[in-house]
Amino acid sequence: MPVHCVITAGPTYEPLDNVRRITNFSTGQLGSELACFFCSCGHTVTLLIGEQATYRGEIVAQKVERFSTTADLERRLHSLTKSSVDAVFHAAAVSDFKFGKVWLRSRENQLVEATVGKLSTRQGSLLAELIPTPKIILQLRDWYPSAKLVGWKFEVDGEQAQVIRLAHQQISEAHTDACVTNGPAYGAGFGLVTPDNQIVHAQDKAALFGALKGLIETKPIHPIHRKA
């Protein structure tokens, strides 16, 4: 039976001034390919993809929206609660920080708050305050109380066991149905962590997509390989 999936992909960005911004290296490829896969399986997909996503492959979805900042992605996800959504795959690389106040250092070595629309290098060094952005995933269960929710944990530092612990922490705090782990800290492939302490190791994206398909179609997920 076809289901309506919402997939987020690619990076958010946060502006420093009217012409500069910070973002991350997310390409949006995995989320875009997941959207294509679910469409090929007969499901309906709404893809929310970052304006800064560099992936240029084929994008197939019934609806595609481009988001900019973390606040913009949050607003778009909340607006979709007005429609029937069966599953949300939150694969977007949301900026962990946004800019707060920015100060300029005067010739007298005093810090003066910058209020101009474009910061100039002629003004010398800057001191920028970084403020944590809200965790969108912590709001998804309230917005989509009956949907299957899947988060992501991409980690660079640490070991696989630590990444899996962080995945369980996310599931517990956000009340999601699963968390996908990947990145250098996890190692090759992907891990699909579920609340019942089951860990499905997928050696590539095809295996991961198949496991996620099983999740939204409420079929049992049989571990390919258990990771310690």
What DSSP string describes 48-76? EEETT----S----SEEEEE-SHHHHHHH
Instruction: Identify residue 177 by its one-letter amino acid code.
Output: D
Structure confidence at residue 54 (pLDDT):
96
How big is the chain, counted in residues?
Answer: 228
Q: How far apart are CA 157 and CA 31, in angstroms?
A: 23
State pLDDT tens for residues 162-189. Answer: 999 999 999 999 999 999 999 999 999 9
Domain ranges of the chain: 98-131, 157-228
Strand partners, 82: none
- The H or E element that residue 21 is part of is strand 21-22
Mean pLDDT by groups of 10 residues along the chain of 228 residues: 94 92 94 97 97 95 97 98 95 95 82 83 82 96 96 96 96 97 97 92 97 81 38
Contact 93, 70 (CB under 8 A): no
3-state SS, the chain, equals: CCCEEEEEECECCEECCCCCEECCCCCCHHHHHHHHHHHHCCCEEEEEEECCCCCCCCCCCCEEEEECCHHHHHHHHHHHHHCCCCEEEECCECCCEEEEEEEEECCCCCEEECCCCCCCHHHCCEEEEEEECCCCHHHHHHHCCCCEEEEEEECCCCCHHHHHHHHHHHHHHHCCCEEEEECCCCCCCEEEECCCCCEEEECCHHHHHHHHHHHHCCCCCCCCCCCC
What's the alpha-carbon Rg for the chain, to the nearest Å?
Answer: 20
State pLDDT tens for residues 55-81. Answer: 999 999 999 999 999 999 999 999 999
Task: Name the one residue in this structure whose structure tokens are 């079929």.
Answer: 219
Structure confidence at residue 115 (pLDDT):
80
Structure confidence at residue 220 (pLDDT):
43
